[in-house]
Structure 1
Amino acid sequence: MLDSDVRLEWFVSFLAVIETGSFVAAAESTRRSQPRVSQHVAALEKLIGQPLFDRKKRPVQLTDAGRALAVQARHVLRALEEAESAMAPWRGGTRGIVSLGSYPSASAAFVPGLLKGLAATDPDIKVVISEHATLELDDRLVSGGVDLYLRPMAPRPASASVASLPLWREPLVVLHAEGHPLAELPDPVPLAAVADHPVVSIGRLGEPETAEYEAHQLFQEHGLTLDPVQATNQPQTLVSLVAEDIGVGVTNGLAAWTSDTTGVRVRPLDGPHERRVAVCWDSTRPLTPAARSILRTIVESDTPAGTTRITPNGHEQPDRVLVPRIIA
C-alpha cells in the first residue's frame, strides 16, 4: 500500500508515461534517463503490489490499478501547485495581486488617488477593483472575492470576522430639484421639513437591511419615519431621480459631490448628521504582504475633499495619521 515513502518524482514520471505513451518519451519530457523513469514506476508498483501498465502493448496502456492511481496522482500534484500559488505572494517582498472592494462614491472620490499613489510607491502590486453595494461587499469578503474593502460603517457587517479601521467621516446632505418647496428654506435644512416630502434613499426597497442605513437611522433618532418612495445604491441614479422630482434625496456627501447634480441643489442638513467610512478585512485570513502594503497606504492616504479623517482611536485628526500595529 502507499505510504509516506512515496516521492513526488515517482508521480511525475508515472504521469509522464501516461501522457507520452512510452517510457522513452517520458524520459525525454521529464529530462530524466529512461532507466530512472522505469525505476520510479517500478517503485510505485512495488508499493501498490499491482502493475500500473500493460507493457506488452504499444503504446503502453494503463491497468485498472494504474487508472485509479493516475486520478489521485494528478490530485496530489495539483494540490502542490495550488500550495505553491498560495505561497507566491509572500515571496519577493510586496508583489502580487490585491482585490480591493469599494462602493460607488468611494470609488469615485478616493480610489483614483489611491491607485495613482500606489503606481509610484508599489508598482509591483496590481490592484483589482471590485465594485459592489455595501452588503454585497460583505459577502465578497466572506467568500474570498476581495482581500480588503472600503465600506460605510453602517449597517454593521453581519460577520463577526470582519475587522475594520475607520478612515473618514462625511456629512449627510439633502438634495432636491430646483423650484422644490424646500428651496424656500434657509441652510441648514431641518430634518422635519425633509420628512414632509417623499424621500429617495440609499439601499433597496423592501429589504430589511435598508433600515440600517444612515438616512433611516437619522429619521428614527429624531422620532420620524422614513418610508422611501424609491431607493438605490448608485449615487447618480439617486440624483437623477431627484432631478425628475421623484422625491427628495438624503444621502452621504461624497455621493452628491461625485455626481452630476445639474438641476439639483445639494444642501446641508440641520444637525451633526454623518456617514463614517472604514477599510475592512477578514480577521480570520492572513493578509499577504501586498495586501498589508495596500492597507497601510489606504490608512495613510489623504481623505476625500469635504471629509474629516478619523484616527484609529476614533478622534478627528486633520493631518498626520497613526498607523495601527496590525499594519506596522
Structure 2
Amino acid sequence: MSADVRLEWFVSFLAVIDTGSFVAAAESTRRSQPRVSTHVASLEREIGLPLFDRRKRPVELTGAGAALAVHAREILHALESAEASMAPWRGGTRGVVTLGSYPSASAAFVPRLLASLRRSSPDVQVVLLERSTLELDDALTSGAVDAYLRPMSPPPASASARSLPLWNEPLVVVHAPEHPLARLPEPIPLGAVVEHPIVSIGRLDAPETGEFESYQLFREHGYEVEPVQATNQPQTLVSLVRQGIGVGVTNWLAAQVADTTGVEVRRLEGPAGRRVAVCWDSVRPLTPAARTLLHGIIDTEPPAGTDPTPERARARRAGPR
C-alpha cells in the first residue's frame, strides 16, 4: 500500500463492517452513501483485491477484507491514542471512544451516562454501537468497541475480557391480563410458567441462548425451557405476548423500557436474576478517552429498580485499572 491511502477510507471501510451496510455506514459517519462507496472502492483499487462480497445481504467481508480490518483498526486506534496523549497540554481528556450496548441498557442507562459525560468531559466523543450480547463479544475481540455493557451470563467469549459488575435486576413474567397466570400471586411459580408456551430472550438457533439467566433459573429447579420464540428486542417480546404467542420471560429492565400497554409484568419466583457488567479488553491499553468512559459508567447511577453491586461501590472509590 502506498502513502496515498487516506485515513477516511479506513473510517468508511470499518463503518460498513460495524453497521452491516453501506447505507447504515453513511448514516453513522454522516457522509453520503456514494462517498462511502467511493472510499471503499478507492481502498480496493489500492489493495488490488475486493474487500466485500457484495452479492450477499448483508455484505460480507472477504478474507482480504478481514485481514485489512485488523490493521485498519490498529492504525485508527494508534491515532486516537496519540491525540488523547495531548490532553495534559490541552487541559482535559479528549478523543473518540466506542461504547457497545444491548437494547435495554441502551434505553435505560446509556442516555444518562452520555448526558453526564457531555457535561464533565465535552471533548470526549462517545460512539454508540448497539448489538445483541453475543455480537458485542465479537465486537470487543475485533476492536470495534473499547468497552461494552453486557449481562454476565453467559460469560464473555474472550479470555482477555475483564468485567466489572454494575447492577443486579430480577427476572419477570409478561402475560395478558386475562391469562391464567394472572390469578396467581407474585412471585409467579416457575412450575406454573412452564405449563404455557414461552417467549424468551436470545435466539432460537443460538446454542449460547441456553446459558442466559432465565434458562439457568428454570434448569436449576428441574425444568428445561423450550421457547416457542425468542428475541433480543424488549418491545418485540412484549408484542409477541400481546398477540398471544406465549408468556414472556425476560429481565426487569427489558420490561421497563418497553411499552407494556395491554400486558402485565410480574416478578418471577427465585433469587436468581440478571447481573450486568461493563467489559473491556485487559490486553489492549485503554486510551484516556476510554478510561474517562469507564469512570463515567461507574459513576452513573444504575437504572431504577435494580440493585448496585458491591464491586461498583469499590470501583467508584478506586477507579478501573
TM-score, normalising length from structure 1? Answer: 0.71
In the TM superposition, residue 88 of structure 1 has moved relative to its aligned partner by: 1.5
2:265 matches 1:270:
no
Q: State the partner residue of 1:211.
A: 210
Distance 1:103 1:248, change over 3 A: same
Q: State the partner residue of 1:75.
A: none
1:168-183 alignment, distance < 5 Å: 168-183=167-182
Letter in 2 for 1:322: R
Letter in 2 for 1:281: W
1:261-300 alignment, distance < 5 Å: 261-300=260-299
In the TM superposition, residue 86 of structure 1 has moved relative to its aligned partner by: 4.4
CA distance in 2, matches of 1:95, 1:323: 23
CA distance in 2, matches of 1:224, 1:294: 40
Letter in 1 for 2:86: R
In the TM superposition, residue 137 of structure 1 has moved relative to its aligned partner by: 0.3
Mapped contact 1:312–1:324 kept (Cα < 8 A): no
SS of 1:270 mapped into structure 2: coil
Q: State the partner residue of 2:316.
A: 322
2:300 matches 1:301:
yes
Mapped contact 2:294–2:320 kept (Cα < 8 A): no
* Equivalenced residues, count: 246
CA distance in 2, matches of 1:275, 1:254: 9
Letter in 1 for 2:189: P
In the TM superposition, residue 325 of structure 1 has moved relative to its aligned partner by: 4.9
Letter in 1 for 2:212: Y
Letter in 1 for 2:85: W
SS of 1:257 mapped into structure 2: helix
The two structures, once aligned, show a CA RMSD in angstroms of: 2.1
CA distance in 2, matches of 1:138, 1:186: 38
Larger radius of gyration: 1
Segments of structure 2 that go 5 or more residues without pairing to the other structure are: 5-71
Query: Segments of 4+ in structure 1 off by > 4 A?
Result: 81-86
Segments of structure 1 that go 5 or more residues without pairing to the other structure are: 1-10, 16-77
SS of 1:312 mapped into structure 2: helix
In the TM superposition, residue 98 of structure 1 has moved relative to its aligned partner by: 0.8
State the identity as a percent. 61
Mapped contact 2:173–2:265 kept (Cα < 8 A): yes
Letter in 2 for 1:118: L
CA distance in 2, matches of 1:202, 1:266: 15
CA distance in 1, matches of 2:317, 2:189: 38
Letter in 1 for 2:84: P
CA deviation map 1:249-283 (0-9, x unaligned): 11000000110001110001122121000000011
Letter in 2 for 1:154: S
